[in-house]
């Protein structure tokens, strides 16, 4: 005799009715209604590499989809960001020439200073964030000035970083973002800006920036690899989480308005800890190596790029980041707009 299928009322697996969590996963509408973490283009800052010259849009091989742009290309870039509702851009400069003290970082007509002027003329409401470091501008590729033995001189480097910050503020930058990891630079930059009448300019500190292997494509893009040694003497040691919290606390005490953890994916535990400890806007940098890995996997057909990128960025937000610096920003904004439509 063929048995009849059991009805739903006849099945009793002992699962309490109150614990059936799948009820709220049953449809796309229900899932969207109870979604805990929202990802939006307004969460993004889009990093851009600016170079000297005109008419330049030079692809970066290690970062597919990214390019080095000349200043005259930035108006088009700014308009695209506005159309995608991405509120902010982060500028990295590739100067025409380099020297031992990174003069190109603070001169009034430096490539970043020109870029700030161009962006503010094209899109006044776009938030312009300027990276403050010397590595792209020094002929040795380190983030400060060196003594005769090749070691970074902390306090002399801080003076030049403050000079760079002032030059960028004078050009019109909205947010100054020191990434060098010299001790005391946030306090000196804040004092320098305030004394010059720029107390309204915000500081986004790369407070917990680690000596990571995930920066490789960036150094190719920015031509900023050290000519000798490495940056472990000033960037943070990856195993040190408690030290990261001390560094964040110090930078907030010195006047940082926003704090950052960099990189993001291997340090999501520190993003969460920073969110729990500090009541300040928190950024996480989804860095070049993290970007390049997903691009390579997608190009080989190993992952669904859209789903994996959005899942990755959502994970960074879920960990506690208010803002994500990411090279995926434009693609992610398009995908989110399509999903919303």
b or e along 6-29 (b: 16 or more beta carbons within 10 Å of the residue's beta carbon)?
A: eeeeeeeeeeeeeeeeeeeeeeee
Q: Kindly name the residue from 98, 209, 295, 330 that is annotated as catalytic.
A: 209
CA angle in degrees (0–180, nearest 5) for 172-110-119 = 40
Of 27-31, 169-173, 190-194, where does mean pLDDT reach its minimum?
27-31
Q: How confident is the model at residue 12 (pLDDT cuts 50, 70, 90)?
A: low
* 3-class SS of residue 176: strand
Is 209 among the residues known to form the active site?
yes
The answer to whether the peptide bond before residue 148 is cis (omega within 30 degrees of 0) is no
- Residue 201's alpha-carbon distances to 138, 182, 208, 213, in angstroms, are 26, 20, 21, 32
Domain boundaries, the chain: 37-340
Exactly one of 98, 262, 295, 330 is catalytic; which is it? 262
Q: Per CATH, the architecture of 37-340 is what?
A: Alpha-Beta Barrel (3.20)
Overall average pLDDT of the 17-43 stretch? 91
pLDDT at 7 over 60: no
- What percent of the chain is modeled with pLDDT above 90? 80
State yes or no: is 330 an active-site residue.
no
């Amino acid at each position: 005799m063929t048995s009849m299928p059991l009805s739903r009322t006849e099945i009793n697996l002992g699962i309490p009715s109150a614990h059936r969590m799948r009820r709220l996963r049953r449809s796309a509408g229900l899932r969207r209604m109870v979604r805990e973490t929202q990802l939006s283009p307004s969460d993004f800052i889009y990093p851009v590499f600016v170079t000297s010259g005109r008419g330049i849009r030079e692809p970066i091989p290690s970062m597919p989809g990214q390019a080095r742009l000349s200043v005259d290309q930035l108006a088009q870039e700014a308009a695209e960001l506005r159309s995608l509702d991405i509120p902010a851009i982060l500028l990295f400069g590739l100067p025409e020439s380099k020297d031992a003290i990174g003069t190109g970082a603070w001169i009034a007509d430096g490539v970043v200073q020109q870029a700030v002027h161009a962006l503010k003329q094209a899109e006044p409401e776009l938030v312009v964030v300027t990276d403050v470091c010397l590595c792209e501008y020094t002929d040795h590729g380190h983030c400060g000035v060196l003594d005769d033995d090749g070691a970074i001189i902390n306090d002399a480097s801080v003076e030049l970083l403050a000079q760079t910050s002032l030059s960028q503020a004078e050009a019109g930058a909205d947010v100054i973002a020191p990434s060098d990891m010299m001790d005391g630079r946030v306090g000196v930059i804040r004092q320098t800006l305030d004394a010059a009448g720029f107390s309204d300019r915000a500081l986004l500190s790369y407070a917990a920036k680690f000596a990571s292997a995930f920066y490789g494509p960036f150094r190719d893009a920015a031509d900023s690899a050290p000519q000798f040694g490495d940056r472990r003497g000033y960037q943070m040691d990856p195993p040190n989480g408690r030290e990261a919290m001390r560094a964040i606390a110090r930078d907030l005490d010195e006047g940082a308005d926003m704090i950052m953890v960099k990189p993001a994916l291997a340090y999501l535990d520190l993003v969460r800890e920073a969110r729990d400890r500090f009541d300040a806007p928190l950024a996480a940098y989804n860095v070049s190596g993290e970007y390049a890995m997903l691009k390579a996997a997608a190009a080989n057909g190993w992952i669904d790029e859209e789903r994996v990128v959005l899942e990755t960025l959502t994970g960074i937000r879920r960990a506690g980041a208010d803002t994500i610096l990411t090279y995926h920003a434009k693609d992610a904004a398009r995908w989110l707009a399509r999903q919303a439509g």
